Amino acid sequence: MTCQRCQDEAVVHLTELVDGRRRERHLCAACAREAGLVLPDAPADLGLDGVLEALIKKHVGELVGELAESSCPDCRLRYVDFRTGGRLGCPQDYQVFREGLLPMLQRFHGATRHVGKRARSRPGAALRLRLRSRLRQAVAREDYEEAARLRDQIRPKDQRA
């Protein structure tokens, strides 16, 4: 295909809808730059190695090293588990996984600072979160006496029967 301006080989192919009609433009690199289009410096590497490397860097790059091995001291959530499950375990996770969370928050929301509403803090919330985490672990290992003791600590006194 040739450039519609200078008859060189076209490397940029644009399809636009203008007033409900399809309009195609074919331009060489020089004419595309002249028209104000930003072209990549190098063509994308579409070989299998290039595609795999890009995928690994984009999705798994942060899962290697110290961040991948870190875990929250309160809820015991590991960073790898957060990345596979997509949910944090407690408020402390924002500080523990800060290095991995900030780039994701920037990418998803366009900012890294919260500017909306905030939940009211309740006294003892962090303790209850730790107790709930320990309760889940006790049930998982079938230690029901410990689970009952933890349940009684979590449940307010006025709700105990």
User: Which pLDDT tens digit goes with each residue over 34-84?
Assistant: 888 777 665 555 677 777 666 666 665 555 567 777 889 988 888 878 887
Instruction: Specify if 84 maps to a domain.
Output: no
Q: How many domains does the chain have?
A: 2
| Domain housing 155 | 125-159
Instruction: Specify if 92 maps to a domain.
Output: no
- Judge whether residue 119 has pLDDT over 70: yes
Cα 18 to chain center, whole Å?
Answer: 36
Instruction: Specify if 64 maps to a domain.
Output: no
- Kindly report the pTM of this predicted structure: 0.38
Instruction: Specify if 73 maps to a domain.
Output: no
- Judge whether residue 95 has pLDDT over 80: yes
Instruction: Specify if 24 maps to a domain.
Output: yes
DSSP code per residue over 36-82:
T----SS----SHHHHHHHHIIIIIGGGSSHHHH-B-TTT--BHHHH
Instruction: Specify if 110 maps to a domain.
Output: no
Number of residues written out for the chain: 161
- Judge whether residue 2 has pLDDT over 80: yes
Give me the pLDDT at residue 29, please.
85
119 compared with 129, residue with greater pLDDT: 129
